[in-house]
Structure 1
Amino acid sequence: MSDRDSIFDTVKAQIEPFNKKGVTVTEATTFQGDLEWDSLTVMDFVAAIEDEFDIIITMNMQAEIETVGQLADAVAKLKN
């Protein structure tokens, strides 16, 4: 399993407590459209991801991340 796959699996696990609609999470799952998260949920989730990976995701970065796959890519980039 690659580091990126491992990151994706961890991100997916972090999504579960916030996945109130029971959406099947894939690389293409969107936070806004598919999961229907409001801004407070996004903030709580970002804090959980930052804690899990010991990284900081800037507001500019957050604005560009729309899918779970994009988030996994961003985390992989920040960890290196």
Structure 2
Amino acid sequence: MSERDDIFAQIAEQIEPFNKKRAILTEGTTFAGDLEWDSLTVMDFVAAVEDEFDILITMNMQAEIETVGQLADAVAKLKAAK
């Protein structure tokens, strides 16, 4: 399993408590559409991801991230920059 796959798996674990619709998670799963998250849920989830990976996701980055796959890519990039 690659580091990127590990990151995706960890993100999927972080999503579970917030996944009220029990949507199946794929690279293309969207936070707003598929998971139907409101802004408060997104903020809580982002905080959990930041804690899990010890990173900081800026508001600008958050605005560009729409899918689980995009989030995994962003986390991998932020971890590599450390």
Quickly name the TM-score band, shorter chain normalised.
over 0.9
Shift in Å, 1:2: 0.4
Q: What amino acid sits opposite 1:4 in the alignment? A: R
Deviant stretches of 4+, over 2 Å: none
Unaligned runs of 5+ in 1: none
1:1-80 mapped onto 2 (5 Å cutoff): 1-80=1-80
Secondary structure class of the residue paired with 1:20: coil
Q: Sequence identity, in percent?
A: 80
Q: Separation in 2 of the partners of 1:22 and 1:8?
A: 17
Instruction: State TM-score, norm by structure 1.
Output: 0.99
Shift in Å, 1:12: 0.5
Q: CA RMSD in A?
A: 0.3
Unaligned runs of 5+ in 2: none
